[in-house]
Structure 1
Amino acid sequence: MPLILFNKPFQVMCQFSAHSSRATLADYLTIPNIYPAGRLDADSEGLLLLTDDGKLQHEISHPKRKQPKTYIAQVEGLPDERALERLSGPLDLSDFVTQPCEAKQILTPEWLWERTPPIRERAQVPTSWLAITLSEGKNRQVRRMTAAVGLPTLRLVRIAIGPFSLETHPLLPGEWCEVSPSRLR
């Protein structure tokens, strides 16, 4: 039962079936019978876990298991203390209220790869980086959270799921490695 850490590139669909206009996981992974434990939308990059074990997949992705997920977001603007407090939640996003999380401003990670294509840059608008660790993960949640506090996300990278991190398992976009699933338990 392999557990695969994969660094999903920007604009890659989180599926193995063919897509009409974008690359998919099948363009990077040829291991038979593995499936993603969770998803990342095409506009997001970073850590994705895949396995052939349905029980393990459930353990990783089910909200009740609460595997923390850490994202770094490059946002438009500079957060103040109030924005960080609001991000830490609970935050009302109209169709649901987020659970409390950890949100802090960070320096640009030195280990982070360049994105292709690069984000848009506006000379008059500064950008900053946030680290947000959630125990839930609704569709486009981090992007919606940063927008709700006036800091639209320009780039979103998931860097950790539970004990697995791209900082400790440095993988460039499109690279993968196999790890022991025992660290999840």
Structure 2
Amino acid sequence: METREKILKAAAEMIADDVTATISVRAVAARAGVSTGSLRFHFPTQRALQDEVLRRIYQHFMPNDPLRDRSLPARDRLVNCLRQMLAPAGVGEDARRAFKAAFAAFIAPDPSEQVHTAYLSYERASAGRITHWLNALDDEGAVPQRDRAKDVRFLLTVLNGLAMERALPYGDSVLQSETDTLYTAVDAILGTAAS
């Protein structure tokens, strides 16, 4: 197996073993059976390695990722990606069931180490998806140079609020209101506005 592929396989296996694991250069090199210098030759930065691993994982599990539809502007693609994250919550009764389940799992119980670890794992996975999308748009030159971690946190907060809003009693325009909110959030990140 080619060295680059061995490195990517090792990093993907580490994520599969523990989704909360941080992909360190030394740990990946050791698992792949290559030197850190060899790893750095193929992936000069830890971000480059993480981005490629996530790109492949998302490409495999989400072959129809809206980010790939280059016929749409970056802001529309990012909004469509964020909608994907809201879709599992459903609307109305489905959203209430999802919110009740999240409440029962993460809010109602005492904040034990197990609850904390489970929630952080979920949050890291969600942050990883958003980071992947922002990095891909950054590669296209569509994202201004900003504090990526703050942008990810902001978008996660917006999504959490919208997911909760879906569970609350609503009028006929909940999805239109949600769309407006998503575009406002994406415009804040991308520095764009409706044309």
Q: Which has more helix, going by share of residues?
A: 2
More relative contact order, 1 or 2 (CA 8 Å, 6+ apart): 1
Q: If you compute each CA radius of gyration, which structure gives the higher value, 1 or 2?
A: 2
Tell whether the structures are fold-level matches, with TM greater than 0.5: no
TM-score by length of 1: 0.28
Q: Name the TM-score, length of structure 2 as normaliser.
A: 0.27
* Greater strand content: 1
